[in-house]
Structure 1
Amino acid sequence: MKNIDILADGLRFPEGPAFTSDGTLWCVEQEGASLFWLKPDGTTGRIQVGIGSRPNGLYIDDRDRLWFCDSGMHAIRCINYPDQEPETLVDHIHDEPLDWPNDLTFDSEGNLLFTCPGSPDEDEPGFVGVCTAVGEVKKISEKLFYPNGITFLPNEKTLLIAETHRKRIWAGRWDAVGLNWINPTVWAETGSGGFGPDGLTLGPDNLLYAAIYGGSCLHVYKPTGVLSHSIKLPGENPTHCAFDPTGRLGLVVTEAQKGQLLRVNEQ
């Protein structure tokens, strides 16, 4: 096991680590109805996002707005950093409410892509949706069983989506104009360990880092989908990971079993 530093402890099901431009590390607390922050000087705090909220995936854009999936409120919400009230941006596709939205990302055209797996206790297909910069919302997939983490390969032509309940990651060409996920195929099988892949992150090394929930590890994949190596973690339930864009913290991981925010020390 690599050296692991605990950056924060006692978190209530942390998920979705991400950084604002001032170097602050953020994550959501799914069972705490809050967004937790850790500043470079070591100070910490929380933004409460409402009774009944269950924040999940987190994305911070280049304007430092904090976008998060709220599975409790069946919506995608946004906070203008640092202190405004959350605003609901998407809560329906046509007349259908979002079904436990889980994770999200943006493409370079300003399209918001998000996963809606449904309840974790049901083994029924969920869906993946997209919302354009002008508010058009549509589904791009309805066949994956618990679609979860979502990200792009380096050229942004290939969209990856984790299918947790089938323990695999899918890849397909992303058409940002026509809003279509074209010819998705299984890109990687994540193996028998754990419940399956959760959050997905593209590293600065152009490798794909997948948190294996229930598997006590991250799997690291080459752009071809071939497993490069695994990173063993002290807790059973890593939910997501991210890289500090400044390089100060390197790779950080949210882990739900022990409620910790971790740093993977490569030294």
Structure 2
Amino acid sequence: MNSIDESPKNILTARARLGEGPIWHSQKQLLYWVDIYNHRVHEFNPTTGEQKFFDVGEVVGCLAPAKTNRLIMALRHRLAFLDTNNGDVTPIIDVETEKPSDIRLNDGKCDPAGRFWFGSMSTSGPTARLFRYDPDGSLHVLLTGLTVSNGLGWSPDRKTFYLTDSPTKKIYAFDFDVASGNISNQRVFAEIDIDSGVPDGLTVDRDGCIWSAIWDGWCIVKFDPTGKEMARISMPVQRPTCCVFGNQDLATLYITTASVGLSEEEIQKSFYSGDLFSLATNISGMPTYEFAG
């Protein structure tokens, strides 16, 4: 594949339990990502190699940039702001008000208009949902009947929305109206044919190609805008979880990984599980959108 200059590099020994949801903060030129079960939001400077983390006190599923040195986060059953200057967590709104024990919030991102999209995941069947939180403070349920709402993104022309339901091994596409924030015309964009692997987080590049991290698949799969597989990028770990393009030119792919649930034998085969990786490409990714509220 002519867009890949090298193999993924291990750039940070993090040993995360469940590293997820990387975002590139263009203004700060920093990478943020979460370690869900360790309740941490990590901040990494790829230029200096410096990293630190904020303990947010509970499960943190995803995050996105917000204004005035803040990040917006989906915690277990609520949204909150994180102040990256002092680590303060400010609650915004409860999402799952009944707080069922088998449901928590999961992956999410902001859309091109600055609305925060995030989903939930269920351990008891298709009871998860996809939500949208608008800058005016309103919360909307966009989809029901999901199992693990995961990997989401938007096409460069802002006309298509992508969403992954991991256990089904499917990535869906929808028509997207950027003015209203509505989605329609759900269809299967791609279905993963790796025996043990399931699609996890994803990112979209400026050519409209989708890069999906394959949990238990030891790889990142790149699809063209029609859903045809273009390439598989081998990873040295069993559970890559998500990816995002970063750096000044948005041409470096950052990849989070997980160690949770692996046996001792699997960890020996996948020794660097939970670490942060990067991959140099000659492709430019899409920016990480900021919450407009």
TM-score range, shorter chain: 0.7 to 0.9
Aligned to 1:23: 29
Pairwise CA distance, 1:178: 4.6
Out of 22, 46, 50, the position equivalent to 2:53 is: 46
C-alpha distance in structure 2 between counterparts of 1:111 and 1:4, whole Å: 32
C-alpha distance in structure 2 between counterparts of 1:264 and 1:11, whole Å: 19
C-alpha distance in structure 2 between counterparts of 1:207 and 1:54, whole Å: 31
Q: How many residues align?
A: 260
Indicate the RMSD between aligned Cα atoms, in angstroms: 2.3
Tell whether 2:94 aligns with 1:87: no
Aligned to 1:106: 110
Out of 123, 129, 132, the position equivalent to 1:130 is: 132
Please give the TM-score of this superposition, normalised by the length of structure 2. 0.80
The one-letter amino acid of 1:184's match is Q
CA contact (8 A) 2:156 2:207 kept: no
Pairwise CA distance, 1:111: 2.1
Distance 1:220 1:61, change over 3 A: farther
What is the 5 A alignment of 1:1-267? 2-9=6-13, 10-20=15-25, 21-39=27-45, 40-50=47-57, 53-61=58-66, 64-71=69-76, 74-92=77-95, 97=99, 99-119=103-123, 122-247=124-249, 250-257=252-259, 258-266=273-281
CA contact (8 A) 1:115 1:150 kept: no
Distance 1:90 1:221, change over 3 A: farther
**SS in structure 2 of the partner of residue 165 of structure 1:** helix
Identity level (%)? 23
Greater mean alpha carbon deviation, residues 245-254 or residues 226-235: 245-254
Please give the TM-score of this superposition, normalised by the length of structure 1. 0.88
* 5+ long unaligned stretches in structure 1: none
Pairwise CA distance, 1:170: 0.6
Greater mean alpha carbon deviation, residues 99-108 or residues 133-142: 99-108
CA contact (8 A) 1:115 1:149 kept: no
Greater mean alpha carbon deviation, residues 192-201 or residues 208-217: 192-201
**SS in structure 2 of the partner of residue 37 of structure 1:** strand
